[in-house]
Structure 1
Amino acid sequence: MASECSIPVIDLQDFPNQSSKLIAACEQWGCFRLLNYNQVLPSTLMSEMKAVVRLLLDLPEEIKRRNIDVIAGGGYVAPSPKNPLYEALGLHDMTSHQGVDDFCSQLDASPHQRETIMKYAEAVHALIVEIGKKLAESLGAKSEYIEFEKWTCRARINKYHFTPESVGTIGGPMHTDSGFLTILQDDEDVGGLEVMNQSGDFVPVDPWPGTLLVNLGDMATVWTNGRFCNVKHRVQCKEASTRVSIASFLLGPDEILEPLPELVDDDHPRVFVPTTYEDYRKLRFSTKLHAGEALALLHPPNSVK
């Protein structure tokens, strides 16, 4: 199904054979399709979670507005004049049983819904940590010293209300993810997601059931000293239908993140100053630079880029 012009495909059960292909995908695209992850995240659980998500997004607005969060924009996002086709719910900390429980309580989730969300959060977190370790090992870094399991992990449940009038318009503006790594369980039937290739052209990410899309964000570019690409992406309205997706974000450590020492030497000087994810997130919001441009503000003084 993949061609030279399409997004790379990585088989999670074929490592270390896939290591060089994984690195090439991260350097050239900043994203890849993931296959054979069902031992960690079963397809039945993915289907159950998508059914739960659709019900939650169909709740009355007064209930969805209870989904508040500790950071601006982290909870419920209602359709707005600027982005009338989009709404979303936010889960602040997928790694915390209390955090997941609070999310469920805000939305009056049933016992079955609560159990599904809890299982999904645990499985996705385990998968996202495994992918992080595969990235580290493929780069020659010692993954056992990188505590991915302690990094903050959030989720966002997205709904796009595409109408006949909106076909051909932008449903979600171009951006990069500010964090390290994103796992996207996309809509199985309704397309619209597009990623930018190295030529600056947008490539459609068509529905492909049984796969996940993995995107690299700005923190992955910092972590690899500029080696990995932070993929720009957007959502186009392709058809008059409702599109639902679940994005899970591995953001970064609570403490300082800086380039891997294995990727810094005389031939590859340090490209970015150390930062924390939270400081960088605030920098993006304060500068309104949401497509990776804020990374330029992390270059060391007198560096040449």
Structure 2
Amino acid sequence: MAGDGDLLRLVGTLDAACKEAGFFYVRGHGIPESMIAEVRDVTRRFFDLPLEDKRKIRLTPHTGYRGYQRLGENITKGKIDMQEAIDCYAHIEPGKYGDLGKHLEGPNLWPDYPSNFKVLLENYASLLRDLSRKIMRGIALALGAPSDAFEGGTAGDPFWYLRLIGYPVSADIPEEQRTDTGCGVHTDYGLLTLVNQDDDICALEVRNLSGEWIQAKPIPGTFVCNIGDMLEVWSNGIYQPTLHRVFNNSLRYRVSVAFFYESNFDAGVEPAEFCLEKTGGVAKYEKVVYGEHLVKKVLNNFVL
């Protein structure tokens, strides 16, 4: 690889993006643009259904926090978000992770309409899992590690989380149900997030190093990517997740489909040895069991 100039340039670009922004766009990823658009289309068609139809797959603690949540049920840091969504997770075998895993056990809940929803989204999640693994190989190289550094006990059996989100137009919502943001200020929980957003609505905002909020403008055919909390711990702070939020100030309903690529559910994530060597030899973070981190967040994400 040392003689591959194109690879070295790409790895250098990825390293700079992770250090300076925490956000970047990915193109040339091999996912058909027609599929990317179709995923947004079926999501929009589902959210267009009457509320009683959408609530047939309602998210509750008994569904493993999988399914549909209506407007006003999702919260970020204690504040209600103006969004509706469907949450899907990688399958967890009953009892596999003991008391920790039981919170998210159970099958994903798929609607009967659109009829191709389940097959399309399962295929899409599989493709994005493979794409995310490739990007993480690039991130490993950018940190100076072997390309397979995130395999094995770290993310050899990666957990994933798919969130289909609809952001309504403020004027269409009764005033007493309106909130300031579609999604409040936050960082993501895992290693990497890939966002499939509407091509013509600017709503996702990222805080840069100067503390300014800038728009992550849609670029057709790309995914907007950002790094998460687990990569911050693993890299001992070399890479840090960037705060972001969503405002839908357009006059149209906005759809966004976020794919979260995580470490193994039961992985104990701690600063990697070669990252310690680059940061003075002292761990800045304690070990975090990813599943505990996720479940703690999930249990505080909803008003049900």
TM-score (norm 2): 0.79
Question: Is 2:197 aligned against 1:193?
Answer: no
Structure 1 residue 58: Cα displacement: 2.3
Which letter does structure 2 place at the counterpart of 1:128?
A: S
What secondary structure does 2:193 align onto?
A: strand
Structure 1 residue 16: Cα displacement: 3.0
| Partner in structure 1 of residue 273 of structure 2 | 261
2:233 aligned residue (216, 222, 233): 222
Question: Per-residue CA shift, 1:122-162, capped at 9, x if unaligned?
Answer: 11111111111111122121232532351101100000001
Question: Is 2:258 aligned against 1:247?
Answer: yes
Structure 1 residue 84: Cα displacement: 6.2
TM-score (norm 1): 0.78
Q: How does 1:26-175 map to 2 (within 5 A)?
A: 26-37=18-29, 39=30, 41-65=31-55, 66-68=57-59, 74-80=66-72, 83=80, 85-93=82-90, 102-103=107-108, 106-109=110-113, 112-147=116-151, 148-164=155-171, 169-175=180-186
| Partner in structure 2 of residue 270 of structure 1 | 283
Overall identity of the aligned pairs, in %: 28
Whether the aligned pair in 1 keeps the contact of 2:81 and 2:179 (CA below 8 Å) is no
Give the gaps of 5 or more residues in structure 2. Answer: 1-5, 74-78, 94-103
Question: Per-residue CA shift, 1:54-82, capped at 9, x if unaligned?
Answer: 12222333343324366875532211286
| Partner in structure 1 of residue 97 of structure 2 | none
Give the gaps of 5 or more residues in structure 1. Answer: 1-13, 289-305
Gap change, CA 1:149 and 1:244, over 3 Å in 2: farther
- Larger relative contact order (Cα-Cα within 8 Å, sequence gap ≥ 6): 2
Gap change, CA 1:136 and 1:129, over 3 Å in 2: same
| Partner in structure 2 of residue 298 of structure 1 | none
Structure 1 residue 171: Cα displacement: 2.0
Which letter does structure 2 place at the counterpart of 1:56?
A: F
Gap change, CA 1:123 and 1:287, over 3 Å in 2: closer
Gap change, CA 1:133 and 1:94, over 3 Å in 2: farther
CA distance in structure 1 between the partners assigned to 2:281 and 2:209 by the alignment: 21
**How large is the Cα RMSD of the aligned pairs?**
3.1
Which letter does structure 1 place at the counterpart of 2:125?
A: A
More displaced stretch, 110-119 vs 14-23: 110-119
Question: Is 2:188 aligned against 1:177?
Answer: yes
| Partner in structure 2 of residue 5 of structure 1 | none
Whether the aligned pair in 1 keeps the contact of 2:83 and 2:168 (CA below 8 Å) is yes
What secondary structure does 2:288 align onto?
A: coil
What secondary structure does 2:251 align onto?
A: coil
Count of residue correspondences: 270
